[in-house]
Every structure is written in structure tokens, then in C-alpha cells.
Amino acid sequence: MSDERYRTVTGPGEARFTISGSQFIGHARPVKTVEAAEAFVEEVRAEYDDATHNVPAYRVRADPLREWASDDGEPSGSAGKPALNVLEGQDLENVVVVVTRYFGGTELGVGGLVSAYSRAVKEAIDDAGIREERPHERLAIEVEYDDSGTVRGILESEGVEFEASYEGRVRFVVRVPTAESDALRDRIASATSGRATLKTVNDRA
């Protein structure tokens, strides 16, 4: 699944509303890993540690896809699963949501909770915005100064994002779509007669 396009949120999103005295706050974030998703859940729980509930859900690209949600003390099936269902329904990946609830004194019932938690996630996602993403990876390319102009020209012609640093050797850090990585590696290796050193500098994202 690593090379296909996927839908995710553009950036942070938040939603706030009150139902029968209970305040709901939806938080949405793009993430690249399960660890990042879990860290965001803990961050929200720490920030809203006085809340009655902090209900999390996430879908993260992995092999296989990792999905998780928790009702965080709400009646079974009334909070976490509805939150996850929104992510699934919009076919979103690499996204984490947490819905914070401050209980207002009036029971909403399971149906009311499902509606409220679903709404909080939908509105947080709407606030964040949705975009289509291609998996990328970062490559580090090191060459001698004599080859640096050739490599820079290739990167510019390919239209990929890169940063260059000129020290003992020239180092380019390139963000390239995963599906195009092998072709770029081959082109640079050929153009420099194998003198370029190439390596992946982080996990695919």
C-alpha cells in the first residue's frame, strides 16, 4: 500500500459546541506514525485533564493499516467507534482525532452520544481541511563539488523539493514521491558514474 495516493487532513482542526449543557471539543491532526498519533492523544488528555472524557480514534498507514479507538468511559460503542466511523467514512488515513467532553449534567443517551461524537469529528475535520497525499521519502545525496552541478540540475528538472549544504562534500536532502524514488536514484547514479552516495534518511511517509 506504500505507493498509492491517500486522503488525510491538511493541518490541525478544532470544533466546539454545546449540547444539553455538555461541551464538546473536537481535535484533529495529521500524523505519520502510530507513535505520533498516540503522543497527540496523550497531549490532549494532559491539556484537558479536567474533562469528563477524552475520546480518541486514529487511522495510520502501515502494513496493515492501523486503526484504534476508545470510548474512554462512555457507554460501549457510543463514542470511540462513531469517531472512527467518520474517519473510515471519509476514507482518511494518517489522521488522529480526540473529542473532549465536559459533562453538563444531562444524560444524552447512546444515540445522542453517537451523534455528538460523530459531529465533533466531522466538524474538526472540516476545520482542518482534506487533501490528497502521495507517500514520500527523504533521500540524502552526497557528491564531490565536481558532480554537484549535475545533481542539482537533475533535482531541479525533476521538480522535487531539496535542500543543499556545501561543506567537505555537497549534501542534498531531497523529498521525493516514493513511487519515483528508484528512478531518481538510477538517474543520479548514472549521471555521476556511481560516484554519488545515496541513502534514505527517514521512514517513508
Band of pLDDT at residue 136, cut at 50, 70 and 90: confident
Q: How many CB atoms lie within 10 A of CB 51?
A: 20
Residue 178's nearest CA partner among 151, 205, 140, 153 is 205
Q: Is residue 153 part of a domain?
A: yes
pLDDT digits (tens, 9 = 90+) for 110-120: 999 999 999 99
Q: Of 116, 133, 150, which residue sits at a domain end?
A: 133
Q: Which pLDDT belongs to residue 205?
A: 44
Kindly state the percentage of the chain with pLDDT values over 90. Answer: 80
Determine the Cα–Cα distance for residues 61 and 119; give it in Å rounded to an integer.
Answer: 24
Residue 128 shares a structural domain with residue 141: no
pLDDT digits (tens, 9 = 90+) for 21-32: 999 999 999 998
Domain total for the chain?
2
Q: How far is CA 114 from CA 8, 22, 99, 126, 185, in A?
A: 23, 14, 12, 18, 49
Residue 95 shares a structural domain with residue 155: no
Enter the pTM of the model.
0.71
Q: Is the predicted pLDDT of residue 202 greater than 70, yes or no? A: no
Kindly state the percentage of the chain with pLDDT values over 70. Answer: 97
Residue 28 shares a structural domain with residue 97: yes
Q: Which pLDDT belongs to residue 1?
A: 45
Q: Which pLDDT belongs to residue 3?
A: 53
Residue 89 shares a structural domain with residue 143: no
